Amino acid sequence: MSQKQEVQNAVQAAKKDLEKEQKEALTKKVKAIVKETLERIDKENVKVKKHQDNVSILKKDLKDLESGRLDLIEDRQRKNPDALKITVIIVKKIKIVDRIISKPWYQPYEIIPNFNYSISASFSPSTGNNNSTLTGTTNTANFTNGVMTGNNFSSLSAGTYELASGKTVDIRPRF
């Protein structure tokens, strides 16, 4: 083999090595991108699962409120710490020693708000005299801890609710 042939072989081997290194580097970059994409998908799936669990808890709370089953909400909150974080109200059973309550919707519970609540009402009474019209007056009442039974919720939760998103939800009484 001549010296020229050896140089050509060396150049070809170097080219092959360089191409192999470039391909390996490109493969590593592509694999890193794919792995990072898979990691982010996994993280987002965990977030979605958490949100689905939270929505499920809230839907169960709403169903139980409509049915007057505060006992089921209290039980769920006692067993699942996440339910206490997401719920709108915290329900605590009030122990009554002098009587037995046979139906769960008559059991009294302490209701503790787990959200900012206020009712604002404005009115403009008119006595027929334009000088005595009062407009823009707003009264605000804050929700404080109280004692309620499931019967309160089952009989009073029905109605049409307009949500902040503009969506309207109609809840029918469950008797």
Q: Taking Cα atoms as reference points, which of 88, 89, 67 lies closest to residue 153?
A: 67
- For the chain, the domains span 3-113+145-171
The answer to whether the CB of 107 falls within 8 A of the CB of 150 is yes
Structure-token pair, residue 106: 């008559």
pLDDT tens-digit map of 115-159: 766 554 343 444 444 443 334 333 344 555 677 777 777 777 778
Structure-token pair, residue 79: 């067993």
What number of CA atoms fall less than 13 Å from residue 171's CA on the CB side?
A: 20
The amino acid at residue 100 is I
At residue 73, the pLDDT reads 94
pLDDT tens-digit map of 44-57: 999 999 999 999 99
